[in-house]
Amino acid sequence: MASRTLGKLSRETLPAADGDGRRPPVPGDGGGHEPGSEGISPVATARTGLWIFLVAVTMLFIAFTASYLSRRTAPDWGAQIPLPPILWLNTILLLVGSGVLERARRRWRLGDVRTLRRGLLVAAGLGGVFLAGQLAAWRQLALAGVFMRSNPHSAFFYLLTAVHALHLLGGLGAFGYALSRVAGLPVAAGPAVTGGPVSVTAAVEGVGLYWHFLAALWLYVFILLFFL
Amino acid sequence: MRPQHRASGSDRSGAALGGVLLFLIIAAVLGTIVARQRWWFPPLASAHGAEIDRLFIITFGIISVAFVLVHGALALLVWLYRERGEGRASYWHEHRLLEAAYTIVPAVVMAGLTLTAAGLWSRMYSAPPPDALVVEVRAEQFGWKARYPGPDGTFGRIDPKQFHPTQNRMALDRADPAGSDDLVVDISTGELHLVVNRPAEIRLRSKDVLHSFFVPAFRVKQDAVPGITLSTWFTPTRTGSYEIACAELCGVGHYVMRGKIVVQTQQEFDAWLAAQARPDY
Amino acid sequence: MGAVTAHAEAHAGHELSFWRKYIFSTDHKIIGIQYAFTSMFMAVIGGLLAMFIRLQLGWPGRTWPILGSLFPGGMPGGEMTPAFYLASVTMHGTIMVFFVLTTLLTGGFGNFLIPLQIGARDMAFPFLNMLSYWLYPPAIIVLLASFFVSGGAAGGGWTAYAPLSALPQAAPGSGLGQTLWLVSLALLIVAFLFGSLNYITTVFHLRARGMSMLRLPLTIWGLFVTAILSLLAFPVLLAAAIMLLFDRLGGTSFFVPAGLIVGSVPVDHAGGNPLLWQHLFWFLGHPEVYVLILPPMGMISDILAANARKPIFGYRFMVASIVSIAGLSFLVWGHHMYTSGMHPLLGTAFMTTTLIIAVPSAIKTFNWLATLWRARIRFTSAMLFALGFISFFVTGGLTGIVLGQPPVDVYFQDTFFVVAHLHFVMASAALFASFAGTYFWFPKMFGRMMSERLGKWHFWFSFVGIYATFFPMHYVGIMGMMRRIYSPALYAHLQGVQPLNVFISIAALGLFAAQFIFLFNFFWSLFRGPKAERDPWRATTLEWQADSPPPHGNWGEHLPVVYRWAYEYSAPDAAEDFVPQTVPSGEPVPAGDGRGHAGRGGETPGGTHGSAHGGG
């Protein structure tokens, strides 16, 4: 029974191969140099790696969520902290950044390097403003006398926002990397689908995916902390 | 191209391993026979402990048989099939029936054990009988204190803010009248008195970190978790003096964190209780 | 993109500086060897700490003037303090579990073997791989530094149960030492996550042509599934560690309830739940046990097949049981908490899952035994250690059935019975698999053979030493001796235990001493061992088709192509008694195996699962 399922698994869902045992070609892997000969797509590899990383980050937040939900059932949970209004603005900024980035990425697939560069810069800038906004929210709460140790809810608020902010900082670093890759592109470079440099595709796709994930993660944290 | 290990006494090693495994089986069996005389459970003194011991013996019997059979098979196989003479190993690597058999047999044994153990477990954690003697035991670094509810049968409230190292070591709430007749006993220097053949319910608290209330003779162990009161009950079946040990690492004095239990008849217990001056913190 | 780089470097790669080649290398083989050497160093430290524990338990109260002059803080006048004893216990566990076995098995063997056995030139992300290794030494420095801070190293056990671990005033080791412990562990967790990410991606994407999942050697299955386990489990421990750091440094109260009084001083915390730490810890902690046992299971299977000259029995059942053990391992964590005050119904549920997990474990054992049936066993050192693994796994696994039942566990929880159980099933078994792996793959790693004579002496002393050390601990546990106590002398029920403890301590000292045979053999063979051939064990898997040691990029000009499963030993009509995975299917194959492919052209990975159950 179990072994039959496994057999199916290997045939159907694992990235097996086409007729001669190679991985199927993945759009965007360039194909211009080396990789084709060994059947390895760096873009697909990077994408898999990133997804796996996102699974790990998700597990981290699942652990926090489970702790939070179980803690909330305790009788001494007490009052929730007030929602700092600036969080609404922060949320909008992060979502707009995500949207700008997505549009830039789509335009780039059609060959528009200029929009891509601008989009990366704008999204990164909005990310920076978001972080500043989160700091402002902490500051507002502190001025109102709400600290990390004030009550269980505030502890979770500071914990989750801090860990999310750390991941966002990493995302800003990734923006820096992607921008450095894109900077080398001639403005009139052809559409990526037909052959931009592999490292650019991997970087842009990777940053895009990660940034959307962080936006979604923030929405999740926001809802979890204040609306559940 | 012949590999070097051909000449290195592989044959002898196989025979030797077979011998060592055989010796292991014999040593394990003899060791256990000796241990049953000298290094075995402390004498049993509680009602449910008999069931625990029986379940242990059943399980121990099963795993001992499995230990001997598997090691015997291993010894036999390495002895029989060590590289000797000419010829090849058999190209045999799949047998549905055999594989199904050794999936099903352990599954059945495990299912049987699960059912037996689940029954005993639910009895151990059932509600304590109404005639149980209720005592609160509080663990701290590194000792135990007990509190009897007094004639009113009710424990007074606890208020950690009112803790005082000499005057109120149990941190009783002085405003609660139910606590005024509570009897507090230091059972690390003194004794926790229980009644033979009368169920005892222990309500466990901790003042600081995790501890675990372990009475080997009663086969009782329950962690004391700060912030929570946990209850466990058992029935002592023999009069005498028993020891409480702390079984959860609680700091540098973990190894000295002992307590003493005295199990006596109801008359003796009543006499002891009457002789206690109170309030005494 | 990394594999591409590696390939490019394979052609132009000899110009790398010493630093890039051996220190900050991105080559998976060098990184694996770095992991292995560092783990060996940590194993010596972890072993020394175990000797401290045994000295104290064997001869409590005795003074050791020489040690006293070496450790004036922990052993003033030569007598060990309880705080130093607890620090030794804690650090022994932490080091052996995380800094030796996890790093050695996944970081060492995983790094070295995964690309070689799947026919890749390197990991998918070589730079990340290097980063993963280079988080390990800082983690070690932080951890070992904690011995020298005020209060000493952490003393709350390797499980670091809160609130003891959360309150600096609760124990000397709960001061800065505990903070450093958490920081060190957090660093190492990140290293593990980078590693896991790399291993999973590599196995997904970089398998050679024809290497379908069901042609993977079981070593790779073990390592691959382990990487998935680590990836899902370690973030949870990271979350717990971050929360505990918040409690310690930020004054939050995730794990510290309100109203505590340590000594006579009230604790200023608002209210949290100590059981939460246990749940989070064991949600990692139990899968972690399998992180330490699944790679050994795979390695042992391969070593067993190669030395029994027989295909591994029930390959598909082996894969299925690895996968199901891994899945179940996330559902059993509560069996560490039967006495914690968790709801009794949960106890029943966790008992059920725990006893279910015994079934796939039994399947694996019986499959190993069946592999030996009508085999032609070569007793190399590697094989002896592999057989030793089976013995320990069985012995420790069986006592797990005792501990899995909550009513019985009530008595045995936190006694030496548990210590005996875990040291057989996890510690000794994983250690023996590592030794087996070292004797087996040393020729591939370093291009030289280890001394078989010394290897066998090492086996006999270690095998007997481990049984002599850990088997009597069962009796100590049955007597009711608690874990982590500095001395049993005060307890009435432990009055007769001392002869056993002395025996165990002497055996442990002997066991520790025997490991120097290995260290000597290892370093002597590194320089003086006879040169190894490409395939000294006449084994089938891909790594034996590479040079010994393999060059940078592993495979020269062309990647290997795989035509068959990893266990073609003693096929009846093959010319030799083994057929490497790279031999095309047109070459001699066993008669009447009914496989659907006749030649190169008909080879499809879809059809390959058929080759896993030829014959029968």
For C557-567, how does the pLDDT look when each residue is reduced to its tens digit (9 = 90+)? 889 999 999 99
d(CA A224, CA A213) in angstroms, rounded, equals 16
pLDDT at C454 over 60: yes
At residue C3, does pLDDT exceed 50? Answer: no
Q: What are phi and psi of A220, to 5 degrees?
A: -60, -50
C205, C235, C242 member nearest A45 (Cβ)? C205
How would you class A167 by CB atoms within 10 Å of its CB: exposed for 0-12, middle for 13-18, buried for 19 or more? middle
Distance from CA of C76 to the nearest CA of A (A): 40
Strands B258-264 and B192-195: parallel
CB contact under 8 A, B39 and C271: no
Q: In chain B, what residues touch C276 (CB-CB under 8 Å)?
A: none
The upper half-sphere exposure of residue A116, i.e. CA atoms within 13 Å in the direction of its Cβ, equals 32
C554: left (phi over 0), alpha (psi -120 to 50) or beta: left
How far, in Å, CA of C275 to CA of C337, rounded? 9
pLDDT band at C15 (very low <50, low <70, confident <90, very high): low
Q: Could you tell me which chain C residue has the CA closest to the CA of A70?
A: C276
CB pairs under 8 A between B and C: 356
Q: Which residues of chain A have pLDDT under 50?
A: 1-37, 192-195
Which letter does DSSP use for residue C207 in this model? P
User: Residue type at C114?
Assistant: I
Q: What is the mean pLDDT of chain C?
A: 91
Going by pLDDT thresholds of 50, 70 and 90, the confidence category of residue B261 is very high
CA triple C312-C314-C320, angle to 5 deg: 115
Interface confidence: ipTM more than 0.85: yes
- In this predicted structure, the answer to whether residue C284 has a pLDDT above a threshold of 70 is yes
Q: What is the pLDDT of residues C472-490, one digit of tens each?
A: 999 999 999 999 999 999 9
Residue B220 scores a pLDDT above 70: yes
How confident is the model at residue C72, as a pLDDT?
86
* Higher-pLDDT residue of B3, C329: C329
Q: How confident is the model at residue B123 (pLDDT cuts 50, 70, 90)?
A: very high
Structure tokens that stand for C437 in this block:
């792996």
Can you say how many angstroms the Cα of residue B110 is from the centroid of all Cα atoms in its chain?
21
Ranking A81-95, B110-124, B235-249, C578-592 by mean pLDDT, the lowest is C578-592
Q: In what order do the strands lie in the sheet with B133-140?
A: B183-186, B143-148, B133-140, B200-206, B230-234
C-beta atoms of B227 and C476 within 8 A: no
- Please report which confidence band the pLDDT of residue B278 belongs to, taking 50, 70 and 90 as the band edges: low
- Give the SS3 label for residue B194: strand
Looking at residue A2, its amino acid is A
On whether the CB atoms of residues B237 and B171 are closer than 8 A, the answer is no
- Give contacts of B5 with chain C, Cβ < 8 Å: 378, 380, 452
A and C: number of Cβ contacts within 8 A: 176
Report pTM.
0.91
Q: What is the pLDDT of residue C609?
A: 37
Shortest Cα–Cα distance, C369 to chain B (Å): 7
**Predicted confidence (pLDDT) per residue in C399-444, tens digit:** 999 999 999 999 999 999 999 999 999 999 999 999 999 999 999 9
Structure-block tokens of residue C289: 């046990």
Residue C270 in tokens: 């608002």
Chain C environment of B170 (Cβ under 8 Å): none
Q: Mention every residue, 6+ apart, whose C-beta is less than 8 A from residue C303.
A: C382, C383, C386, C436, C437, C440
Instruction: Give pLDDT, residue C70.
Output: 87
Q: Does C83 touch chain B (CB under 8 A)?
A: yes
Per-residue model confidence (pLDDT) at position C586: 66
Average pLDDT, integer, range C195-215: 95
Per-residue DSSP letter, B246: E
Tell me what pLDDT residue B237 has: 97
DSSP H stretches of helix in C19-64: 28-58
Chains in contact with A, where contact means 3 or more Cβ–Cβ distances below 8 Å, are C
Contacts of A16 in chain C (CB under 8 A): 212, 605-606
pLDDT at C71 over 80: yes
